[in-house]
Amino acid sequence: MIKVEKIDTFTGHRDCVYTLEKSGEVHRFFSAAGDGFVVRWNLQKPDVGELIAKVGHSVYALAYLPQENHLWVAENFEGIHVIDIETKQELRSLKLAPSNYFDIQIYKNQAFLAGGDGIISVIDVASFSFRKHIKASDMSVRCLAINPVERELAAGFSDNTIKIFDLTTLELKQVIAAHNNSVFTIKYSPDFKFLLSGSRDARLKIWDVEQNYVLEEEIVAHTFAINHISYQPNNKRFATCSMDKSVKIWDAETFKLLKVIDRARHAGHGTSVNKLLWTEYEDQIVSGSDDRTISVWKLYDEN
What pLDDT digit, counting tens, does each position of 7-52 carry? Answer: 999 999 999 999 999 999 999 999 999 999 999 999 998 767 999 9
CA–CA gap between residue 174 and residue 266 (Å, rounded): 42
What global pTM score does this model have?
Answer: 0.97
What's the mean per-residue pLDDT of the chain? 96
Terminus-to-terminus CA distance in the chain, angstroms?
7
Q: Nearest Cα to 241, choosing from 266, 214, 271, 284? A: 271
pLDDT of 303 > 80? The answer is no
Cα 222–Cα 248–Cα 259 angle in degrees, nearest 5 = 120
CA–CA gap between residue 204 and residue 185 (Å, rounded): 10
Contact partners, residue 95, CB within 8 Å, separation at least 6: 78, 79
84: left (phi over 0), alpha (psi -120 to 50) or beta: beta
Q: Residue 214: its pLDDT value, please? A: 98
Q: pLDDT-derived band of residue 301, with 50, 70 and 90 as boundaries? A: confident
Q: Residue 134: its pLDDT value, please? A: 97
AA letter at 132: K
Q: Residue 47: its pLDDT value, please? A: 67
Digit-coded pLDDT (tens) for 75-86 = 999 999 999 999
Residues 119/141, Cβ–Cβ less than 8 Å: yes
Digit-coded pLDDT (tens) for 204-260 = 999 999 999 999 999 999 999 999 999 999 999 999 999 999 999 999 999 999 999
In 3-state terms, what secondary structure has residue 88? Answer: coil
- What's the rounded mean pLDDT across residues 278-288? 97
Q: Residue 46: its pLDDT value, please? A: 73
CA–CA gap between residue 82 and residue 62 (Å, rounded): 10
Phi/psi for 264 (5° steps) reads -65, -40
Question: How far does CA 69 lie from the centroid of its chain?
Answer: 19
Superfamily of domain 2-14+102-301, CATH level 4: YVTN repeat-like/Quinoprotein amine dehydrogenase (2.130.10.10)
Phi/psi for 263 (5° steps) reads -70, -40
Residues 55/78, Cβ–Cβ less than 8 Å: yes
